[in-house]
Structure 1
Amino acid sequence: MVVQWLRESRVAAGAMLLLRIWLGYTWLVSGWEKITGGFQSAGFLKGAVAKATGEHPAVQGWWASFIKSVALPNSGLFDFLIPWGEFLVGVALLLGLFTTFAGLMGIIMNFAFLFSGTTSINPQMVLFTTFILVAGRNAGHYGLDTYVLPLLDRWMGREQQLASYKDRIDKF
């Protein structure tokens, strides 16, 4: 019932617009500060590895192993990916363009930060992004998704499949 409301209600689309604006602005500003401020991930990554020790580690061993073996040796790549990823997720959410994909990429980054022992605003962002992901296409109804996604569906030949799916939902 709640999922159907999130996916079909115009009131829910309006609520998702408000969440998108807040999340988009938060991601955009965070990314832009890193882009213009000379962000370097190595210090953060080393701090996350240090949090993996002790009686009650904030970072799980498997994640610390990933950081040590993948992220730290490639910190230059992460210096690029993190700021631009944050910035582009922010732009996409603000515009309502590929909203669910942007939300998915944002929530993956949030979880990576949480896994690394940083709480900050990440739990709130995960919670709000979950609503956007559940709302699906309706989260971008008041945005560019309204125009772009139908064109993409036609181009991919999925228009008929989606119409059939909508008919089944209406009968439900």
Structure 2
Amino acid sequence: MKHPIKAIIALLLRLYFGYDFLTAGIGKWKSGFDAKAVSGFLKGGLAQTHDALLASKGAAAAAHANVTDTWGWLISHVFLPNAGIFSVVVKSGEVLIGLGLILGCFTTLASFFALAMNFTFLLTGTVSTNPQMAIGFLILIAMGAASYEIGLDRFFMKKLIAKCPRLGKGWLRTPFPIEQ
């Protein structure tokens, strides 16, 4: 192991966040998380846009909107019409991210998708633990190959890069890190 301290820190972050994502995803599958739930969440985000706040609470509240108009447009025109698809994507994504992080399988890709999911929740006006998680996932991504020294990636990442050398070059080197 080339980076034992970094590897242990990465393992602890992976296990903590992986458990959080896995249990959230399983909970959504068990609870019947569906298009109605996604629509409710998204409509809550729309209520935090400038125009919605201006109409409901006045100019003072609208000056401090939590959701940008651009994101509100995406919610209205992309996410809400496809709420059923996004309900499956969210709960499946949380389970897959959780498993990937816990097992150390495609660790940096799981971290990237978890980061994207956290930013999506933040952009929709939900703070919760998302900022702390985003920082944790940025740390995992920045650790590169050390983030998978303790996990399944350790056994097959070099073989994968050897079979597909393009994965280890350019910008793809970030999600598929290997030690030189």
Question: Is TM-score (shorter-chain normalized) higher than 0.5?
Answer: yes
The count of aligned residue pairs is 157
- Deviation at residue 159 of structure 1 after TM alignment: 9.8
Calculate percent identity across the aligned residue pairs.
Answer: 36
1:90 matches 2:95: no
Q: Is the 8 A contact 1:13 1:139 kept in 2?
A: yes
For residue 43 of structure 1, the aligned residue among 25, 34, 40 is: 40
The one-character-per-residue Cα deviations of 1:24-72 (angstroms, maximum 9, x if unpaired) are 0011011111111111301001110111132211111110110000000
1:141 matches 2:149: yes
Structure 2 CA distance for aligned equivalents of residues 68 and 16 of structure 1: 38
- Corresponding residue of 2:85: 77
Which stretches in structure 2 are left out of the alignment for 5+ residues? 51-61, 174-178
- TM-score (norm. length: structure 1): 0.86
For residue 124 of structure 2, the aligned residue among 80, 96, 116 is: 116
Q: Is the 8 A contact 1:137 1:145 kept in 2?
A: no
- RMSD of aligned Cα (Å): 1.9
Structure 1 stretches of 4+ moved >4 Å:
158-162
Which stretches in structure 1 are left out of the alignment for 5+ residues? 1-7, 167-172
Structure 1 CA distance for aligned equivalents of residues 130 and 167 of structure 2: 36
Structure 2 CA distance for aligned equivalents of residues 22 and 159 of structure 1: 28
* Counterpart residue type for residue 67 of structure 2: V
- Corresponding residue of 2:72: 64
Structure 2 CA distance for aligned equivalents of residues 158 and 71 of structure 1: 33
Specify which structure has the bigger relative contact order, considering alpha-carbon pairs within 8 angstroms and separated by 6 or more residues: 1
- Corresponding residue of 1:150: 158
Structure 1 CA distance for aligned equivalents of residues 6 and 128 of structure 2: 27
- TM-score (norm. length: structure 2): 0.82
- Deviation at residue 137 of structure 1 after TM alignment: 1.8
The one-character-per-residue Cα deviations of 1:115-148 (angstroms, maximum 9, x if unpaired) are 0000011111001111100011210110001012
Q: 1:55 to 1:15 in 2, by over 3 A?
A: same
